[in-house]
Structure 1
Amino acid sequence: MKKNISILLLLLSVSAFAQKSYEKADKFFNQMRYVEAAKAYEKGIDRGDNSMEVLQKAGDAYYFNTDMEQANKWYDILISRYRGEVHPEYLFRFAHTLRGIGNYKSANKWMKAFAKASNKEDKRIDDYAQKEQTLADVMAIPPAFELANLDINTIYSDFGPTYYGSKLIYSSAIDTSYYVKRRYHWNKQPFLNFYEGQINATETNVKRERPFSESLNTKYHEATLTFTKDHKRVYFTRNNYNGDLKRDDEGVNHLKLYTAVRNDSIFSDWSDIQELPFNSDEYSVGHPTLSADNKKLYFVSDMPGSIGATDIFVVDVLDDNRYSTPKNVGPTINTSGREMFPFITEDKLYFASDGHLGIGGLDVFESDVLETSFSEPRNLGLPLNSNLDDFGFIINEANEQGFVCSNREGGVGDDDIYAFRRTTPENITEAIIADNCKQVVKGYVSNTRTKERIADVTVGLYSEEGIKLTETKSQLNGDYQFNYELLCSERYEIRIEKLGYNLNNKLFVTSSISEETIIPLELETVDELIVEDNGVLKIKVGIIFFDTNKSYIRPDAAVELNKIVALMFQQPDLHIRIESHTDSRAKDSYNLALSQRRADSTKDYLIRQGVLSSRIVEARGYGETQLINNCENGVSCEEIEHQLNRRSEFVIVKM
């Protein structure tokens, strides 16, 4: 009885600790301190709490911080464990993270599951149905941009560029400001401030010069701004802060739009900082852009009247710093997703969206300015857009050059600013004709989850019509290359397959501005328990522990073996080989016999749980003949080193 009471007290203590820990995590989450919230939830998971709620919160903490890789990890576990219980919203978010890591095929699969689970009542189903039908067309848009990373980028977030004469004003979390020790809780970076850079003569790079304004920069965030044509008035985004940091009823600090003016002196700073009248403590307003005639101010908000998560709105700029009532620009532009970072010119509206047909995350779109509305948005395609977030597009339409922001792979830091040059389709065609353009296609294959390179993958090249052109295998480092010349700016498809992995394919368009097209590819194992170890497919479960000198299956070992049983039921063609190993202690002959007894005991357990004996092609003990470290006979090792050698492995023979 005392033992039971002790166990009960221990459980209550752990429960109270977990509850207190999650109170703190929930507080972080509600304050949008997502980095800290994620760590707190993960501590609970590490302690063995795999409840639906904590897995949801862990995934959400990364999702709302746009860390799609980590969000995908926790949503994957969540849905694997609670497939029939989770709210359909998590199927949508899981699909969105799959898009964010470039796994479009699986994303489409889970969007279909979302559509089925939500009974077709969610507008995003129609949005995504359009994506599924035309994603190939977006991937096949002829590349029309050349991008270059700027010298001003730091390891932190740099984004939100706008023109200021020959200068570029942008936002950065560079850690050189007065508030060097302050960190934004959302992503643990310094707070954003405005900086000024000099654009070089060719508009291909920018040199950082100085912080832009002492009066505009505060100890909290300032980001994204726009100027009137005479550069005497600025509109900018800032935290809801004007001496005091204000929060709504749920403790959230929203964004607001502010304006300031300066006199004719180039040495004067900005003054008369005022809030715009349509701000609110209850929703966010930000990311401004002015029409060429300075008569219309466009911005982003989640105010009442929004169609989706965030929409683009517009107001008329009236005399005496007055403004009309905000007006939603309408469903042609705004979707059920996020529309952000507008940039308006005389003829075009450019903006970022994850609600329109896109490649992944936020994509940049352009829309023609019509008399009373806008045309259907057009995706600007690769390479301007990527499978991550691309946004903050601005352009000098006189020379078709500008700047865009992205958190794509290969950058300097978090968000980077890139210079671009837009090449017209006519010029591309002329270049193809003039140079008789040919292409070599190559790349690499990696594991979707682990990012490790995968060898011996069958990589097939197909024409747009589905005709097989050639085939190759990935090398030991995962690299592949087709020994087949392709035409420039043409559509092709790559199909890849390997035992133990889901089939995958990728549509692409060959380059027209270089001699080769680089196509990274990804494969995902058919189940998260399946891993590749030095070219051998294995089922990876926790360590199968045995008592000293014993071979019976302990309860903790049964938990791990039951995972293999479940997998084999899900994969009826899966056949395995059981390999059991010991450490070097005790006699060699004894260890060999002990490992064989343990292999046989493991096999018998699987069969008792319903696995056909024919699907276990062998159960073999190797004793100490295959040590994975130097802890052989006569070598003194720590217990943890010996434990590495006491292992059971489940090798996949066929599927």
Structure 2
Amino acid sequence: MNSRPWKNDLNLQDFTKMKAIKTNITALLFLMVFAVQGQLKYNDADINFDNLLYVRAAKQYESLVQKGDDSQHVLQRLGDAYFFNTDMENAAKWYGMLFSKYENVLEPEYAFRYVHALKGVGNYKLAKGIMKIYTQKLDVSKFEVEQLKNNDEALDELLNRQPQFYIANLAINTPVADFGTAYYKDKIVFSSSRDSLLYETRVYEWNQQPYLDFFMADTNDLGSDLAKVEPFSPILNTRYHEAVASFIPEGNVIYFTRNNYSNQTLGRDGEGTNHLKMYTSQLQGGEWTGATEVSFNNEEYSVGQPALSPDGKKLYFVSDMPGSIGGTDIFVVDIRRDGSFSQPRNLGPTINTSGREMFPYITEEKLYFASDGHLGLGGLDVFESELGRNGFRAPNNLGKPLNSNRDDFAYIVNESTQRGYFSSNREGGKGDDDIYSFQRMEETCEQTVKGSVIRKANAQPMVNVVVELVSAGGASLERTATDPYGAFSFTTVLDCEEKYSVQISKDGFISTEKSFSTTTEKDFVNNVPMEITKKLNKLIVRENGVLKIKIDNIYFDLNKADIRADAAQELNKIVEVMKEYPKMVIKIEAHTDSRGSDRYNETLSDKRAKSTGSYIISQGIQAHRIESAIGYGEKTLLNHCKNGIKCTTEEHDVNRRSEFIIVKLE
């Protein structure tokens, strides 16, 4: 933003939103306090820098560089001076020199700022490169942000995402800061640096603009523009900053952000810092009462940017209080019946990052907020997070054109109409932070399906398999066939949160079906991998309650156990079945008739069983899949032809057999 975070003439500081520190409103909210580097030769420049006089400090640091001082301290401060003033072109220039010389010793915060500066000038290609440096070379254990992870695909998807919004710059914007809208009855309350004329015009030293006050405006019938701007309340507007308000549903109680200011005096912590505080006031007799502090304010840190839940029972806000994950986090308190508050609760790492999360707005369905820690387009971006049973879900960047490569924040919306307002310091505005109206397009959640088909027996891709997409009601939506790589895809666009199935068929194979459900993610591609099995079920039979692979009898030469060619042909059927069912385990039993001695028959049948098992293993079946191979001789005859019983050859042949019993089948 072009109006910087405020620092008043008492040399007090606040915490800001920062992409730029040059920002305004956020000026209103939350400036980071930077440690003083005490080297004597940098004294004047460092004093100006620590007093937030960045333009003056930048000139002094540039003079040092011209004299040959390109130390890490000077380059860091020089890049920061421009970064905090939202001059991303110069920030990128000096951060680039800093990285070229000190890449391996820099803190990850500098990768964070450099990436923001690069995105701010539209150099997303180099920003991706810095993301990789951040991931691979810098110690990020204490500074984790999605914004800087090596996720080229996610950034490309965000850059190429279809727009969801129509936006318009409002006519009521001025060359100074206008931002931070709130619904108030049938009107809009916002913050602005325009001179209210209620006091002698006082100028905020940093940006030479009047201090921020609350203003009120009418909406038109479409809710797309504002008109009839007037000061909101001479009681609530003071000589210092007021910004970002939220009202209970009835409209007679306000929560808002202000300098730590009371009794005409600015409060300070032990180091002289004037933090932000949250105040509340009630409407009585058409006038707002004097503001009182909320109980969780503190002299040592800032609290602000309130957002009330629709039922008025929860109050969300932003703070850098102890327990924060990043520069500023979003917290929530319960508002009890007596008006007191619970202890503040951090919304946790799903929402908050090592960066800055700010400007919450809560509806019955979603939390909206601004962040520079989640993956974005540059500066602060607006995100939405759905409220689930177990808390808030992973945030979704609302994309272009609502988000830009500059700061975009303070999003409010009427969920029933999908109309609302947000603030931005993007190029093309009227000079500083401006208020924009938006209309969100009706969101159509569309998904597609792709997949592949492999043969279960060997995991090889199957070509020319017929693939059909079927609705939950059984209607055929589309048919296609797999390519030489076994892949398939459908062009049919599917609705989100619906059930579908994929059916596959091929001659000689078992037709298979797999069901799936689409998610809530827009433009998601469902992947449905399929396996197909050859029709071998006729070989698998159940006899007397036992599963077996049934083949024709295999024959051996007299008194031998060698596998003959005709026997191998039958055993190959066993091999094929076992390959088709790769987790199948069998045991082999060899039996003889009663002719010959019992001992001889048992010995010969055992040799033949083990020879059979060895052949199957030689064809590529793992040995552990044959649990046992045992010959039983004439112990388990199938008919009456025992020793001493006269039988025909055909009757004896019934007992001469090899059995392949299935022990395990998945």
Cα distance in 1 for residues equivalent to 2:111 and 2:160: 28
**What TM-score do you get using the length of structure 2 for normalisation?**
0.58
1:73-104: CA deviations, max 9, x gaps?
32223334544554453233212211222211
1:262 aligns with 2:280: no
2:249 is paired with a residue whose SS is: coil
Paired residues of 1:131 and 1:358 also in contact (CA < 8 A): no
Paired residues of 2:146 and 2:375 also in contact (CA < 8 A): no
2:144 is paired with a residue whose SS is: helix
Match of 2:303?
285
Match of 2:456?
none
1:245 aligns with 2:266: yes
1:192 aligns with 2:212: yes
Match of 2:380?
362
| Residue segments in structure 1 that go unaligned for 5+ positions in a row | 1-17, 430-508, 510-655
Paired residues of 2:192 and 2:214 also in contact (CA < 8 A): yes
1:146 aligns with 2:158: no
**Structure 2 residue corresponding to 1:104, chosen from 124, 134, 146:** 124
Paired residues of 1:288 and 1:299 also in contact (CA < 8 A): yes
Paired residues of 2:313 and 2:334 also in contact (CA < 8 A): yes
Match of 2:94?
74
Match of 1:373?
391
**Structure 1 residue corresponding to 2:314, chosen from 296, 304, 315:** 296
Cα distance in 2 for residues equivalent to 1:130 and 1:110: 9
**Structure 1 residue corresponding to 2:141, chosen from 109, 121, 133:** 121
Match of 1:160?
180
Cα distance in 1 for residues equivalent to 2:56 and 2:240: 18
Cα distance in 1 for residues equivalent to 2:326 and 2:268: 22
Deviation at 1:416, TM superposition (A): 0.7
Cα distance in 2 for residues equivalent to 1:422 and 1:67: 31
**Structure 2 residue corresponding to 1:332, chosen from 335, 339, 350:** 350
Deviation at 1:189, TM superposition (A): 2.7
Cα distance in 2 for residues equivalent to 1:384 and 1:182: 33
Deviation at 1:24, TM superposition (A): 4.4
Query: Amino acid of the residue matched to residue 281 of structure 2?
Result: A
Query: Amino acid of the residue matched to residue 361 of structure 2?
Result: F
Deviation at 1:52, TM superposition (A): 3.0
Paired residues of 2:107 and 2:139 also in contact (CA < 8 A): no
Deviation at 1:191, TM superposition (A): 1.4
Paired residues of 1:34 and 1:186 also in contact (CA < 8 A): no
Query: Amino acid of the residue matched to residue 254 of structure 1?
Result: H
Inter-CA distance 375–256: structure 2 relative to 1 (3 Å threshold): same
1:60 aligns with 2:80: yes
Cα distance in 2 for residues equivalent to 1:178 and 1:19: 45
Inter-CA distance 36–211: structure 2 relative to 1 (3 Å threshold): farther
Cα distance in 2 for residues equivalent to 1:62 and 1:41: 11
Query: Amino acid of the residue matched to residue 258 of structure 1?
Result: Y
Query: Amino acid of the residue matched to residue 388 of structure 2?
Result: L
Match of 2:433?
415
Cα distance in 2 for residues equivalent to 1:113 and 1:240: 41
Higher helix share: 1
Paired residues of 2:147 and 2:372 also in contact (CA < 8 A): no
1:314 aligns with 2:368: no
Deviation at 1:425, TM superposition (A): 3.0
1:390 aligns with 2:408: yes
Inter-CA distance 285–65: structure 2 relative to 1 (3 Å threshold): farther
Deviation at 1:45, TM superposition (A): 4.7
Paired residues of 2:111 and 2:148 also in contact (CA < 8 A): no
Residue correspondence of structure 1 range 433-444 to structure 2 within 5 A: none
Deviation at 1:349, TM superposition (A): 0.7
2:250 is paired with a residue whose SS is: coil
1:227 aligns with 2:227: no
Query: Amino acid of the residue matched to residue 98 of structure 2?
Result: L
Query: Amino acid of the residue matched to residue 202 of structure 1?
Result: L
Cα distance in 2 for residues equivalent to 1:227 and 1:132: 41
Deviation at 1:200, TM superposition (A): 1.1
Paired residues of 1:34 and 1:187 also in contact (CA < 8 A): no
Match of 2:618?
none
Inter-CA distance 178–379: structure 2 relative to 1 (3 Å threshold): same
Deviation at 1:207, TM superposition (A): 1.3
Cα distance in 2 for residues equivalent to 1:216 and 1:296: 23
Cα distance in 2 for residues equivalent to 1:297 and 1:250: 29
**What TM-score do you get using the length of structure 1 for normalisation?**
0.59
Query: Amino acid of the residue matched to residue 89 of structure 2?
Result: E
Cα distance in 2 for residues equivalent to 1:381 and 1:291: 25
Paired residues of 1:59 and 1:72 also in contact (CA < 8 A): yes
Cα distance in 1 for residues equivalent to 2:47 and 2:185: 44
Residue correspondence of structure 1 range 364-513 to structure 2 within 5 A: 364-426=382-444
Q: Identity rate of aligned residues, in percent?
A: 51
1:347 aligns with 2:365: yes
Deviation at 1:427, TM superposition (A): 11
Paired residues of 1:65 and 1:187 also in contact (CA < 8 A): no
1:312 is paired with a residue whose SS is: strand
Inter-CA distance 32–277: structure 2 relative to 1 (3 Å threshold): farther
1:297-323: CA deviations, max 9, x gaps?
000111111111111100011133311
Paired residues of 1:33 and 1:186 also in contact (CA < 8 A): yes
Match of 2:238?
218
Deviation at 1:192, TM superposition (A): 0.9
Inter-CA distance 74–151: structure 2 relative to 1 (3 Å threshold): same
Inter-CA distance 131–239: structure 2 relative to 1 (3 Å threshold): farther
Deviation at 1:170, TM superposition (A): 0.5
Inter-CA distance 187–25: structure 2 relative to 1 (3 Å threshold): farther
Paired residues of 2:135 and 2:148 also in contact (CA < 8 A): no
Inter-CA distance 276–37: structure 2 relative to 1 (3 Å threshold): farther
Deviation at 1:229, TM superposition (A): 1.1
